Structure 1
C-alpha cells in the first residue's frame, strides 16, 4: 500500500477497461484520482466504487477530441486536489470499417484518429506540464500500442497515430526531464477488456493465442500495474521509454508456430 501516496492523477478514458484498472490501482495505492471520460456516467460510477473501497476519486466528462475539454479536465484536477503529479493519457480509438489500407481508408478517419489518439496526448501534456513544474515534477504516461511498431493489413491510421505517441513520448521526456518530469508509454498487445471480450469471436482470440509466447491473454490489470509502476517513484530513473506489454506476441520469428506444426507432422 502507499506506492503513490499523496500523488494526484488524471486518468483519461478511465471509465472502463485499461483506464478503469489503472485508476482503481492508483487509488488503492494512495493517489487521488480524477477519472475523465466521454462516458461521464461510467466515470462517476467508477469513482463511487473507488470511494466505497476507501480510495479518493471523482469522475468528470472529457471529450478528448476537443482542446478546451482537455484543458478543463487538467484545470479541474488542479482545482480539486491542488496539483497534478500524474497524467495518464489513455484515450484512443479505431474503426475497422473506415481505417483500412492506405489506398482505401477514409481520410476523415485518418484526421479523426490523429486528433483523438495523438493530438490529445500532446494537449494533455501541454496543459499539465506547467502545473507539474510548479509542484516539483511529475509522471506522464501515454497509451501507445504494438500497432505503432509493426505493419498490418488494415488500421494504417491507428498504427501511424500510435507510432506518433511513441516518439512524442521521447520528445516530452527529453524536453522536460530537467524539470523532474518523466514521460513514458505503455504499448499493449491484445488485452481482454470488456470491449475485446464482447467483440472478438473465440476463433480470433485463438489466433492471437497461437502467436503469444505465454499461454494466456493479457488482462486490464496487466496494463494497470505497469501504469502504477510508471506513476510511482519506483520508476524514477526511467523516462522516454515505451514498455511493451504483449505476452511475447511479437518477439519470435512469425513463422515459428507454423514451423512447429510442420515439424510435428514430419
Structure 2
C-alpha cells in the first residue's frame, strides 16, 4: 500500500478496460485520481465505486479529439487536487471497417486516429507538464501498442499512430527529464478487456494463443500494474522506454508455431 501516496493522477479513457484498471490500482495505492472519459456517466460511476472502496476519485467528460476538452481535463484535475503528478494518456480508438490497407483506407479516419491516438498524447502532456514542473516533477505514461512495432494487413493508421506514440514518448522524456519528469509507454498485445471478451471471436483468440509464448491471454490488470509501476518512484530511473506487455507474442520467428506443428507431425 502507498506506492503512489499523495500523488495526483489524470487517467484518460478511465471508465473501462485498461484505463479503469490503472485508475483503480493508482487509487488503491494512495493517489488521488481523475477518470476522464467520453463516457462521462461511466467515469463518474467508477469514480464513485473507488471512493466507496476508500480511495479518492472524480469522474469527468473527455473528448480526446478536442484540444479544449483535454485542457479542461488537466485544469479540472489541478483545480480539484492542487496539482498533477501522474498523467496516463490512455485513450485510443480503432476502426476495422475504415482503417484498412494503404490503398483503401478512409483518409478522414486516418486524420481522426492521428488526432485521438497521437495528438491527444501531445496535448495532454503539453498541458500537464507546466504543472509537473511547478510540483517538482512527475510521471507521464502513454498507451502505445504492439501494432506500433509490427506490420499488419490492415489498421495502417492505428499502427502508424501508435508508432508515433512510442517515439513521442522518447522526445518528451528527452526534453523534460531535467525537470524531473519521466515519460514512458506501455505497449499492450491482446488484452482481454470486457469489450474484447464480448467482441473477439473464439477463433481469433485461438490464433493469438497459437503464437503467444505464454499459455494464457493478458488481462487489464497486467497493463494496470505496469502503469502503477511506471507512476511510482520504484521506476524513478526509467524514462523514454516502451514496455511491451504482450505475453511473448512477438518474441520469436513468426513461423515457429507452424514449424513445431510440422516437427510434431513428422515425429509421429
TMscore range, shorter length: over 0.9
1:167 aligns with 167
1:155 aligns with 155
Distance in 1, matches of 2:148 and 2:42, equals 28
Distance in 1, matches of 2:76 and 2:151, equals 39
Give TM-score scaled by structure 1 length: 1.00
Distance in 1, matches of 2:244 and 2:63, equals 27
2:85 aligns with 85
Instruction: Note the residue ranges of structure 2 that are not aligned, 5 or more in a row.
Output: none
Alignment of 1:190-205 (within 5 A): 190-205=190-205
Instruction: Note the residue ranges of structure 1 that are not aligned, 5 or more in a row.
Output: none
2:126 aligns with 126
2:72 aligns with 72
How big is the shift at 1:195? 1.1
Distance in 2, matches of 1:151 and 1:180, equals 35
1:244 aligns with 244
Distance in 2, matches of 1:223 and 1:199, equals 20
Q: How many residues align?
A: 266
**Structure 1 residues 165-200: Cα deviation after superposition (integer angstroms, max 9, x where no partner):** 000000000000000000000000000001111111
* Root mean square deviation of aligned Cα: 0.3
Distance in 2, matches of 1:38 and 1:200, equals 23
Give TM-score scaled by structure 2 length: 0.99
Asked whether 1:29 is paired with 2:29, we answer yes
**Structure 1 residues 32-82: Cα deviation after superposition (integer angstroms, max 9, x where no partner):** 000000000000011011011100000000000000000000000000000
Distance in 1, matches of 2:176 and 2:96, equals 36
1:53 aligns with 53
Distance in 2, matches of 1:51 and 1:201, equals 35
Give the ranges of 4+ consecutive aligned residues of structure 1 lying more than 6 Å apart after TM superposition: none
Distance in 1, matches of 2:260 and 2:162, equals 32
Distance in 1, matches of 2:166 and 2:265, equals 41
Alignment of 1:206-221 (within 5 A): 206-221=206-221
2:234 aligns with 234
Distance in 1, matches of 2:10 and 2:50, equals 14
**Structure 1 residues 86-128: Cα deviation after superposition (integer angstroms, max 9, x where no partner):** 0000000000000000000000000000000000000000000
